[in-house]
């Protein structure tokens, strides 16, 4: 097999290592934000990276609301606090106590908030790639969130995704029209440290699942433990 073309397009070993380091060291930062402002040049690079996310049918359905105003952050935090109380009541006693001990947002502490939204009508009524899977615009917007997250980590910035809030509270705080879907509210800024492992893992909330146990071949649930791919995964400690 001729692999010359593939080799021509591959990153160098150092470049590849940097990409994987960024992926593996990305964290959902809920606290420990420092007050230092994010320079416009850095924020611009992060937003440009988000804007270059893949989108089905090249619809680019996203918009970004940059939040620095303390009063706007306070309104968003009020929405979080309300949802946080509701969520705590959904868990049984032991889990509820564990939940209450977790720091789950940095809305007021983070110097920058970014709301990523999806305009579902932007590309018109018929969109290439959405004809049979209409939610691909939502998934494309999530790709923009991930691009932003990884770019921020490469810049030494932490990002936290605040999902414990009702979308209508974000709409009210940010003046988002009814036709626009808020996908993510992100807290962004410099942090005191990045944890070696996800905080929910270190706090005993959950454990990372085995990748090898989640791979099938050719059809659902058909796993071949002797497959070369599984051996490679196990060799990397991801089994």
- Residue by residue, pLDDT tens for the chain (239 residues) are 445 556 789 999 999 999 999 999 999 998 889 999 999 999 999 999 999 999 999 999 999 999 999 999 999 999 999 999 999 999 999 999 999 999 999 999 999 999 999 999 999 999 999 999 999 999 999 999 999 999 999 999 999 999 999 999 999 999 999 999 999 999 999 999 999 999 999 999 999 999 988 898 888 988 776 678 888 888 887 65
Pairing of strands 180-190, 157-162: antiparallel
Tell me the CA end-to-end span of the chain in Å, nearest whole number. Answer: 30
Q: Which of 45, 51, 73 is nearest to 63 (CA)?
A: 51
Residue 136 is predicted with a pLDDT of 98
Residue 171 is predicted with a pLDDT of 98
Q: Residue 171 and residue 182: Cα distance in Å, rounded?
A: 7
Domain ranges in the chain?
27-207, 209-239
Distances (CA, A) of 98 to 83, 95, 195, 206, 210: 17, 5, 19, 12, 24
Helix, strand, coil percentages in the chain from 3-state DSSP, rounded to 5: 45, 15, 45
Fold designation for 27-207: NADH Oxidase (3.40.109)
Task: Check: CB of residue 116 under 8 Å from CB of residue 62.
Answer: yes
Residue written as tokens 């932003």?
Answer: 148
Q: Residue 75 and residue 173: Cα distance in Å, rounded?
A: 6
Helices H, strands E: what count in the chain?
Answer: 9, 4
Q: Which of 92, 91, 201, 110 is nearest to 162 (CA)?
A: 110
> Phi and psi (nearest 5°) for 158?
-95, 150
Task: Check: CB of residue 82 under 8 Å from CB of residue 173.
Answer: no
**From the CA atom positions of the chain, what is the Rg in Å?**
20
Q: Which of 17, 13, 35 is nearest to 25 (CA)?
A: 17
Residue 1 is predicted with a pLDDT of 43
């Amino acid at each position: 097999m001729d692999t010359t073309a593939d080799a021509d397009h591959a990153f160098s070993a150092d470049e590849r290592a940097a990409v994987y380091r960024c992926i593996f060291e990305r964290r959902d930062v809920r606290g420990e934000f420092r007050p230092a402002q994010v320079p416009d040049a850095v924020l611009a690079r992060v937003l440009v990276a988000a804007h270059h996310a893949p989108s089905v049918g090249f619809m680019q359905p996203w918009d970004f609301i940059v939040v620095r105003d303390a009063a706007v952050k306070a309104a968003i935090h009020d929405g979080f606090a309300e949802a946080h109380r509701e969520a705590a009541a959904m868990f049984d006693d032991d889990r509820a106590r564990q939940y209450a001990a977790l720091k789950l947002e940095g809305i007021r502490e983070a110097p920058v908030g970014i709301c990523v939204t999806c305009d579902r009508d932007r590309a018109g009524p018929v969109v290439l790639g959405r004809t049979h899977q209409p939610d691909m615009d939502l998934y494309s917007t999530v790709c923009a969130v991930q691009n932003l997250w990884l770019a921020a980590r490469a810049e030494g910035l932490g990002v936290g995704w605040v999902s414990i809030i009702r979308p209508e509270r974000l709409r009210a705080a940010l003046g988002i029209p009814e036709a626009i879907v808020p996908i993510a509210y992100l807290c962004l800024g410099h942090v005191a440290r990045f944890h070696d492992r996800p905080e929910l893992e270190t706090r005993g909330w959950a454990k990372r699942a085995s990748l090898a146990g989640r791979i099938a071949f050719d059809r659902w649930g058909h796993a071949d433990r002797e497959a070369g791919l599984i051996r490679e995964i196990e060799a990397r400690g991801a089994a």
